Amino acid sequence: MSNVAERAQPRYEIEESFSVELVIEPDDHRAEPIRLAATVLNLSTSGAKLAVPMALERDRTVRIQLVVDRLGLSFYLSARVCWAAPAGTEASVVGCQLSPPIPDGILKHIAQGGRLNRRDQDRRPVEATVAIARHGARIWSREQGLLRNYAAGGVCLETGKSAALGEKFQIRLNSTQLGIVVRWVIQQDDRYLLGCENEDTASYSLLEAALA
């Protein structure tokens, strides 16, 4: 049943191929990991086809680093090699199962951009602590998060707790308070990256002033 569901997921052919970093842990854990560039041929939320400059055996687990500059993201996915076909004397094409899956919203951004490393002009990297107010059923719970970047359309937050898509927050930096809506979530170990849309078109200029 799971194989049928996986095949039914949208799979995007990449018109302009792009490279990702592939990290291969050695069998001898005292040795350094092998880091190399692999070419992404297509993607789905839970799978990827890669051209890799070395042979990889089936069931081998590797890590793939995705850097999506236009969304302010950099994260690792665990990938298990499901099949491998030779593509040359020192290269192979492999099909991998990804864990965790790529959220569909991020996958669409990657496909629409044609490649990963494409930066929106208005996206500003930053590292600032903000107060987060989550609206629960009866009370507001307060916590701290790290503002990773911001743009005209929204912000990227790093937090210690996950969030539901569509959940509304208030964030506060100094005396500036802004409303945001969660649009995507990525887990990185015990931390979470939340991509959020601004509720108000004036939020960008207000946040820029608060960070000045």
Residue with tokens 């839970």: 46
Residues 8 and 108 in one domain: yes
Q: Are residues 37 and 74 in the same domain?
A: yes
What is the amino acid identity at position 120?
Answer: D
Question: 84 in a domain, yes or no?
Answer: yes
One domain, residues 11 and 87: yes
Among the listed residues 204, 201, 65, 73, the one whose alpha carbon sits nearest the alpha carbon of residue 148: 73
Place 167 in a pLDDT band, splitting at 50, 70 and 90: confident
Confidence check: pLDDT of 98 > 80:
yes
Could you tell me if 32 and 106 lie in one domain? yes
In a domain, 119, yes or no: no
Q: Which CATH number covers residue 48? A: 2.40.10.220
Q: What is the pLDDT of residue 204?
A: 87
Number of domains in the chain: 2
Lowest mean per-residue pLDDT among 9-13, 36-40, 59-63, 133-137? 9-13
Q: Does 129 share its domain with 72? A: no
- Record the tokens describing residue 14, joined without a space: 């990449």
Please tell me whether residues 146 and 76 are part of one structural domain: no
Range of the domain at 43: 2-113
Query: How far out from the chain centre does Cα 70 lie?
Result: 11
Give the other-Cβ count within 10 Å of 189's Cβ: 7
Query: b or e along 138-173 (b: 16 or more beta carbons within 10 Å of the residue's beta carbon)?
Result: eeeeeeebbbbbbbebbbbbebeeebeeebebbbeb
CB 77 within 8 A of CB 102: yes
pLDDT (mean) for 83-102: 80
DSSP class of 109: H
Q: Do 165 and 93 reside in the same domain of the chain?
A: no
Q: What is the pLDDT of residue 102?
A: 82
Residues 102, 11: one domain?
yes
For residues 139 and 201, the model is more confident at 201
pTM: predicted TM-score of the whole model, two decimal places: 0.52
Classify residue 45: in a domain, yes or no: yes
Residue 133 lies in a domain: yes
Whether 155 is covered by a domain: the verdict is yes
pLDDT in tens, 53-74: 888 888 998 988 877 655 556 6
Mark which of 113, 139, 173 sits at the end of a domain.
113
Among 86, 113, 140, which residue terminates a domain? 113
Average pLDDT, the chain: 77
Q: Does 118 reside within a domain? A: no
Question: Is residue 40's pLDDT more than 80?
Answer: yes
pLDDT in tens, 109-155: 676 654 443 334 466 788 999 999 887 645 556 789 999 888 888 88
Report yes or no: 25 and 80 within 8 Å, Cβ to Cβ: no
- 189-192 long-range contacts, Cβ below 8 Å, gap at least 24? 190/160, 191/158, 191/159, 191/160, 192/158, 192/159, 192/160, 192/161, 192/162, 192/163
Domain boundary among 113, 147, 167: 113
Instruction: Please report the pLDDT score of residue 118 as a whole number.
Output: 35
**Is residue 41 in some structural domain?**
yes
Say what the pLDDT of residue 188 is: 73
Q: Are residues 76 and 128 in the same domain?
A: no
Q: State mean pLDDT over 154-183.
A: 88
Q: Is a pLDDT exceeding 60 seen at residue 105?
A: yes
Got the DSSP string for 33-77? PEEEEEEEEEE-SSEEEEEESS---TT-EEEEEEEEGGGTEEEEE
